[in-house]
């Protein structure tokens, strides 16, 4: 088995938490404990690659940068992505390495700084099309106050219902290619657990002179994770989030969990608006792309059900028509 696991934000920071170093390390430890159990069940020929989001971290770091701009020059969004990629990669790498050691497993783990190519002409860069949530969940009242301080920021409702259902959104261009693809593949083939494409990868465009240049964006980690799965020729793509199964009519009285859906069904549900663009939508889209590319299994489930999801006992699986 060649497995790519895409970790959601709850693997690193819970919605109700402030995001202290201790809180994030404890979350990473719990996540690493579950992933170590997955590794424990793998054969010597199996391979694991991990990717993760960075929405809360990069959003909060952007606020810190803006608040301190009179003292320290703020960095561009692609640089903030690199910073948080290094931060989260370090936390996951250290916690997973420790958990594997406790189990007596000598498997090397490495996190790499990883770029992902996008197009400067992507619609996400136009007007109000930005769709990637970053930073903390906010109330509508908090959004109104923040808009007074940061008039150029875009805020959107990313969950149904009331309360803390708003977040800042930034451009989220479609990933085209993983720049460090060959490096990642060589390490995976050598038996190394690789943490890559963190936060969707550092967004770069290719200039006419053939040079890469960073752009102001945050790539969706699930769509970038699918590209990563192609790089290592994965057969299984597992997206872990905060719900056990994908649901139709999410947040409504008639919501219904989905055990399995074909690619055609998934596309129809997307078109009908069952999956929000800044939430479940990219996850379902990533699964569709993976199956259409040639992957065998695409699963969406909750972090605490990772073993059961891999065993086919829970989660939502996207299958070919």
Which of 53, 59, 89, 132 is labelled catalytic? 132
Q: What is the fold, at CATH topology level, of the domain defined by 11-234?
A: Carbamate kinase (3.40.1160)
245 is an active site residue: no
Which of 9, 89, 198, 199 is labelled catalytic? 9
Give 106's contacts (C-beta < 8 A, 6+ positions apart): 100
Containing 205, the helix (H) or strand (E) segment is strand 202-206
Place 137 in a pLDDT band, splitting at 50, 70 and 90: confident
**How far apart, in whole angstroms, are the C-alpha atoms of residue 18 and residue 224?**
27
Place 160 in a pLDDT band, splitting at 50, 70 and 90: confident
pLDDT at 136 (0 to 100): 79
Mean pLDDT on 224-240: 98
190, two tokens:
């050598």
191, two tokens:
């038996």
Containing 236, the helix (H) or strand (E) segment is strand 236-241
pLDDT above 80: residue 24 = yes
pLDDT at 159 (0 to 100): 81
Domain boundaries, the chain: 11-234, 236-321
Residue pair 219/175 in contact by the 8 Å Cβ criterion? yes
132 is an active site residue: yes
Which of 10, 60, 114, 178 is labelled catalytic? 10
DSSP 227: H
- pTM of the full predicted structure? 0.91
Fold match, 11-234 / 236-321: yes
283 is an active site residue: yes
Query: Comparing 160 with 201, which gets the higher pLDDT?
Result: 201
- Strands 154-157 and 109-111, by their bridges, are unpaired
CA angle 285/287/290 to nearest 5° reads: 110
pLDDT at 174 (0 to 100): 96
Give 105's contacts (C-beta < 8 A, 6+ positions apart): 36, 39, 40
pLDDT digits (tens, 9 = 90+) for 34-79: 999 999 999 999 999 999 999 889 888 988 998 899 999 999 999 9
The highest-level CATH class for domain 236-321 is alpha beta
Residue pair 270/285 in contact by the 8 Å Cβ criterion? yes
Which of 13, 156, 245, 283 is labelled catalytic? 283
pLDDT above 90: residue 127 = no
Q: What is each CA distance from 226 to 38, 139, 150, 236, in whole angstroms?
A: 20, 32, 33, 10
222, two tokens:
């699930």
Give 114's contacts (C-beta < 8 A, 6+ positions apart): 85, 178, 179, 180, 184, 196, 197, 198, 201, 202
Across the strands, what pairs with 189?
none
Ranges of beta strands (E only) in 89-153 are 109-111, 115-117, 132-138
Give 241's contacts (C-beta < 8 A, 6+ positions apart): 8, 10, 280, 283, 300, 301, 302, 303
pLDDT above 80: residue 299 = yes
pLDDT at 135 (0 to 100): 78
Which of 156, 221, 227, 245 is labelled catalytic? 221
């Amino acid at each position: 088995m060649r497995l790519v696991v895409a970790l959601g934000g709850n693997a690193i920071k819970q919605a109700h938490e402030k995001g202290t170093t201790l809180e994030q390390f404890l979350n990473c430890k719990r996540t690493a404990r579950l992933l170590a159990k997955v590794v424990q069940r793998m054969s010597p020929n199996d391979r694991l690659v991990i990717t993760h989001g960075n929405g809360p971290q990069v959003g909060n770091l952007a606020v810190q940068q803006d608040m301190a701009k009179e003292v320290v020059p703020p960095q561009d969004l692609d640089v903030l992505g690199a910073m948080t990629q290094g931060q989260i990669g370090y936390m996951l790498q250290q916690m997973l390495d420790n958990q594997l050691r406790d189990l007596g497993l000598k498997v090397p783990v490495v996190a790499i700084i990883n770029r992902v190519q996008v197009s400067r002409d992507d619609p996400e860069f136009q007007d109000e099309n930005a769709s990637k949530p970053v930073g903390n969940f906010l109330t509508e009242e908090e959004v109104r106050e923040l808009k007074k301080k940061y008039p150029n920021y875009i805020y959107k409702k990313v969950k149904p219902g009331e309360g803390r259902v708003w977040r800042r959104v930034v451009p989220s261009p479609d990933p085209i290619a993983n720049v460090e693809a060959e490096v990642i593949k060589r390490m995976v083939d050598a038996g190394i657990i690789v943490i890559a494409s963190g936060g969707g990868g550092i967004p770069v465009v290719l200039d006419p002179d053939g040079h890469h240049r960073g752009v102001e964006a945050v790539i969706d980690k699930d769509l970038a994770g699918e590209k990563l799965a192609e790089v290592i020729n994965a057969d299984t793509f597992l997206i872990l989030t905060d719900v056990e199964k994908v649901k139709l009519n999410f947040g409504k009285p008639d919501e219904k969990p989905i055990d399995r859906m074909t690619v055609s069904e998934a596309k129809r549900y997307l078109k009908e608006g069952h999956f929000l663009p800044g939430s479940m939508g990219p996850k379902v889209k990533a699964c569709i792309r993976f199956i259409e590319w040639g992957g065998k299994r695409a699963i969406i489930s909750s972090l605490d059900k990772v073993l059961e999801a891999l065993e086919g006992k829970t989660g939502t699986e996207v299958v070919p028509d």
